[in-house]
Amino acid sequence: MAATTPRRRDATKTRQLLLEAALQRFTRDGYAATTVRDIADDAGVNVALISRYFKSKEGLFEACLTSSVDEIRRTTGDTPLSRTPEAIARQIAGPCTEGLPHHLVLLLRSSGDEAADRIRLDLLRSYGQRLAVAAGWPEDDETMLLRAQIVLAAATGIALLRTKSGLEPLASATAEDLVAPLRDLVDALMSKP
């Protein structure tokens, strides 16, 4: 049989289960409102394993954050400006079939930990720069950087408002519904020359 023998005792697997459960909880409820027992129960795993595999609750949160950041980096790698609205819309509305929550929202969750804050800030900064560059501006143009960051803020704001409050029609808008307004938004902010 292949190397993927279905072992009942699999540290890697349980680690993954914990990570996914934590990602869901932290994104939906925030850091402080989430308890380690909640996460462990969701994962169907003993609480003590969190401390073992991730050192602490904060360690688990940090792992979630880097995982989410990696995911964002992977799915949004060098998108041209023309495709940015769709990319954002898909990011916000989710891959439709996926039950996982929006990675953007996790970026707004805070544990008070400094390491986590730096991870978050690094992604936001580089994301903003990438957006400005994709729009054809020099990356040290402060005005355009501000505009790019506003696009970013708008995206996260939409994602947050969607999940937190059942504000209709925004809450249940599909990616198709969102792409047209987002195109207008991105165009107006970024391609102004």
Partner DNA sequence: TCCCCTGGTAAACAAATGTTGACTTAAAAA
Partner DNA sequence: TTTTTAAGTCAACATTTGTTTACCAGGGGA
Binding interface with a copy of itself (CB under 8 A): 30-33, 108, 110, 112, 117, 120-121, 124-125, 128, 142, 145-147, 149-150, 152-158, 160-161, 164-170, 173, 177-178, 181-182, 184-185, 187-189, 192
CB atoms < 10 A from the CB of 186, how many?
A: 22
Burial status of residue 188 (CB atoms within 10 A of its CB: 0-12, 13-18, 19 or more):
exposed
Yes or no: say if 185 and 86 are a contact pair by the CB < 8 Å rule: no
DSSP 56: S
Smallest separation (angstroms) from a copy of itself to the CB of 13:
30
Burial status of residue 182 (CB atoms within 10 A of its CB: 0-12, 13-18, 19 or more):
buried
Helices 57-75 and 84-93: angle between axes, nearest 10 degrees? 140
Yes or no: say if 94 and 174 are a contact pair by the CB < 8 Å rule: no
34 versus 76: smaller Cβ distance to DNA: 34
Q: Report the site for DNA in 50-79 (rule: CB under 7 A).
A: 50-52, 56-58
14 versus 28: smaller Cβ distance to a copy of itself: 28
The amino acid present at 22, given as its one-letter code, is: A
170 binds DNA per the rule CB under 7 A: no
180 binds DNA per the rule CB under 7 A: no
Among a copy of itself, DNA, none, residue 9 binds (CB under 5-8 Å by kind): DNA
Q: Structure tokens of 183?
A: 């195109």
29 binds DNA per the rule CB under 7 A: no
Among DNA, a copy of itself, none, residue 50 binds (CB under 5-8 Å by kind): DNA
41 binds DNA per the rule CB under 7 A: no
36 binds DNA per the rule CB under 7 A: yes
- Chain positions contacting DNA, by CB under 7 A: 5, 7-11, 13-14, 34-37, 45-52, 56-58
